[in-house]
Every structure is written in structure tokens, then in C-alpha cells.
Structure 1
Amino acid sequence: MANLFFICSKNQWRSPTAELLFKNHPVHLAYSAGTSDKARIRISQKMIDRADIIFVMERKHQQLLKQRFDMTGKQLVVLDIEDNYQFNDQELVAILEEVLREYL
């Protein structure tokens, strides 16, 4: 079982939507957090350490992680999904299903 960690800015729309795709998944466990001080759930080193694969929505999230946390040995994937969607938006779900196909 792989721990998949999804990160966006405020952990309100994109990363929780990605996490929801993996609810009750038979192989992967997913969780999410945000990089902002105003995030619903704020990212921590403990969350990073627990992750097998870290997915960030934008390159700015990748840069923030590398500046603030020890990312040694972590697999980091940039999804390039801009902050243009609401939680569980059908277009966002379709994009996530496409880019995460090999994990779903």
C-alpha cells in the first residue's frame, strides 16, 4: 500500500478532491494538506515523512516544500492544475482521473 499525499494552497478544493478519489481504495491511502497559513489542514514534516509519493498541484507548491521541509528521498510529482476549480468539480475530477490513472 502506498501513501499518496496531495498538496495545494489552502486544502479546500483541489487536494481534498484528489484525496476523495482514493476513498476506500483497495491499494492506496490518500491524504491532503495545504501550504498556506490559512490552509484547512497545514502541511507538516510528519505528513511528508509518511508519504510514499507527494503530488503538488502547482510548481509553486514544489518550491515551497523544498524551501521549508526535508524532502530527501521523496518522490514529488507536479500535476500542473491551476486553482480554477471548486471542491469535487466534475472538470477537476476528470483532470485528476486522467493524470492519476496509473494510481487509480
Structure 2
Amino acid sequence: MKNILFICSRNKWRSLTAETIYKNHSEIHVKSAGTENSARVKVTSKLLVWADLIFVMEKHHKEKLNEKFPEETKNAEIIFLEIPDNYKFMDKELIEEIQLSVSSYLQ
């Protein structure tokens, strides 16, 4: 079973939507977090070490992770999804975009 972590800025819309979509998936465990101090769940060293695969919504999220957690991210598999902060929680288009971007990694 793979551990998957989704990361955006505040963990309110994009990464939380991704976690919600996949939380009942039979072959993966999912969590989500945010890079900002105001995040609902803030990304931690422990979360990064837990994850087998990390999906970030934007390039700056990966940069922040590398900057703040150099040890935890140096061998981590971090995939940049290119999903801008243009959506609300469980927005239909956001769900489609996440599923399209992530599905090939979950095969």
C-alpha cells in the first residue's frame, strides 16, 4: 500500500479535494497538507517521511518543501501537477484535473 501526500498552500481547496477524492481508495493511503503558516494542516517533516509519493499543486510548493525540509525531500518523489489556485473545494473541474494528473501514477 502506497502513502500519498497532496500539498498546496493552505490545504483548504486543492490538496484537501485530492485527499477527499482518494481517501477511500483501496490501494493507497492519502493525506494532505499546506505550505503556509495559515494552512489547515501544515506540512511537517513527519508527513514528508511518511509519504511514498508527494504531489504538489504548483512549482513554488516544491521549492518551499526543498528549502524548509532539505533532508526529507532530497530522495523524495515529488510530482508537480501544475494546478493553479483557481478552484474551490470539490469544484467539478478541479476534481477532473486532479484525476487526470494523478491517475497514471496510481496504476
TM over 0.5: yes
Q: 1:25-104 residue pairs with structure 2 within 5 A?
A: 25-69=25-69, 70=71, 71-102=73-104, 103=106
Q: Deviations over 1:19-47 (max 9, x none)?
A: 11112111001100000000000010000
Report which stretch shifted further, 93-102 or 54-63: 93-102
TM-score under structure 2 normalisation?
A: 0.94
Q: Secondary structure at the match of 1:62?
A: helix
Alignment RMSD (CA, Å): 0.9
Q: What's 2:2 paired with?
A: 2
Report the Cα distance in structure 1 between the residues aligned to 2:15 and 2:21, rounded to whole angstroms: 10
Q: What's 1:15 paired with?
A: 15
TM-score under structure 1 normalisation?
A: 0.97
How far did residue 72 of structure 1 move? 2.4
Report the Cα distance in structure 2 between the residues aligned to 1:62 and 1:54, rounded to whole angstroms: 9
Report the Cα distance in structure 2 between the residues aligned to 1:3 and 1:27, rounded to whole angstroms: 9
Which structure has the highest helix share of the two?
2
| Matching residue's letter, 1:30 | V
- Give the unaligned 5+ runs of structure 2: none
- Does the aligned pair in 1 maintain the 2:66–2:74 contact within 8 Å? no
- Give the unaligned 5+ runs of structure 1: none
Number of equivalent positions = 104
| Matching residue's letter, 2:4 | L
Report the Cα distance in structure 2 between the residues aligned to 1:13 and 1:23, rounded to whole angstroms: 15
